[in-house]
Amino acid sequence: MRFSQTIALITGAGSGIGKATAIRLANEGAKVILVGRTRSKLMETAYEINEAHRIPMAEVFPADVTDSEDVQELAEYMQTHFGDLHVLINNAGSSKHSRLLETSEEDWDYIQNVNLKSVFLVTKALAPIMIQGSQQDHAPQNRAIVNVASLSGHQAGAHIPHYSSAKAGVINLTKAFALELAPYGIRVNSVSPGFVESPLTEESLQNMNFIKAIDRNTALRRVGRAEEIANVITFAASEEASYMTGSDILVDGGWLIK
């Protein structure tokens, strides 16, 4: 129960890595606030979490984390209803496939907003609540932000120029926030998953050539599971990572070493 008496907020919590992380945090004692655009998916995650506990551990707040007004409402909700925040997981993301010279300005903006701007908006809005809480602590409590980046932030993927550049931005924005928030005892790290079974890869995993490429180019010769990434995110958010900030943890099954 590493997160007992902890309030954690997860964006993109309706499916995939976000859902798996929310479940893991709740199972370790955290009160989890599930954020995303689709209420029905958030409710499904909350139901699964709450069914497994005698005391409800999950609440839902539908919001578009690329919209500054929605994010400000989220911050006001957190301040009013909880007055504190210990763990923030910026997981919301999306991708599209296109060649760089064929990428529309609209697609470029959309992918940058979902993957990078959202991290900026949510962290900027919620970090003050975390700072306020840390300054009021009688005994120091673990406070951490974990941003979900990507293998593509290290190595540009084929036909995802907007996604690769956005995730590289997440890795460096993480370092900037880590430096700025360190004086308040708030650690900021990122986790870069490789190819994982999730809504983002669902279509690709139907392609036999893609599956063969995974087998050929990944040292562990398989895609990852959302739960495996959630394990690492949870570690980075826990006190076990108390001397780590401004770091990126690559969880790619050995793709980059092949």
pLDDT tens track for 152-176: 999 998 899 999 999 999 999 999 9
163 belongs to the catalytic site:
yes
Residue 16 is assigned to a structural domain of this protein: yes
Report, as an integer, the average pLDDT of 29-50. Answer: 98
- Cβ atoms 173, 118 nearer than 8 A: no
Query: Strand 87-90 vs strand 7-11: parallel, antiparallel, or unpaired?
Result: parallel
| DSSP tally for the chain: helices H, then strands E | 8, 7
Q: Where residue 122 sits, what CATH number does that domain have? A: 3.40.50.720
Report, as an integer, the average pLDDT of 40-60. Answer: 97
d(CA 101, CA 106): 13
Q: Which residues constitute the domain of residue 114?
A: 7-251
Residue 257 is assigned to a structural domain of this protein: no
Structurally, the chain folds into a number of domains equal to 1
- Give the pLDDT band (50/70/90) at residue 235: very high
DSSP-based helix, strand, coil % in the chain, nearest 5: 50, 15, 35
Q: For position 190, what pLDDT does the model report?
A: 98
Provide the whole-model pTM.
0.95
Lowest-confidence range among 81-90, 147-156, 205-214?
205-214
Residue 258 is assigned to a structural domain of this protein: no
- The residue annotated as part of the active site, out of 47, 77, 163, 184, is 163
Q: What is the 3-state secondary structure (H, E, C) of 224-250?
A: ECHHHHHHHHHHHHCHHHCCCCCCEEE
Q: For position 36, what pLDDT does the model report?
A: 98
Of all residues in the chain, what percent carry a pLDDT higher than 70? 100
Residue 2 is assigned to a structural domain of this protein: no
d(CA 49, CA 60): 11
pLDDT at position 139 over 90: no
Residue 175 is assigned to a structural domain of this protein: yes
pLDDT at position 22 over 80: yes
Report, as an integer, the average pLDDT of 139-163. Answer: 93
pLDDT at position 199 over 80: no
Q: For position 198, what pLDDT does the model report?
A: 79
d(CA 147, CA 91): 6
Residue 94 is assigned to a structural domain of this protein: yes
Report, as an integer, the average pLDDT of 181-205. Answer: 89
- Cβ atoms 49, 18 nearer than 8 A: no
Q: What is the CA radius of gyration of the chain?
A: 18
pLDDT at position 28 over 90: yes
d(CA 179, CA 152): 24
d(CA 123, CA 103): 28
Q: For position 117, what pLDDT does the model report?
A: 98
Report, as an integer, the average pLDDT of 112-128. Answer: 98
Q: For position 189, what pLDDT does the model report?
A: 98
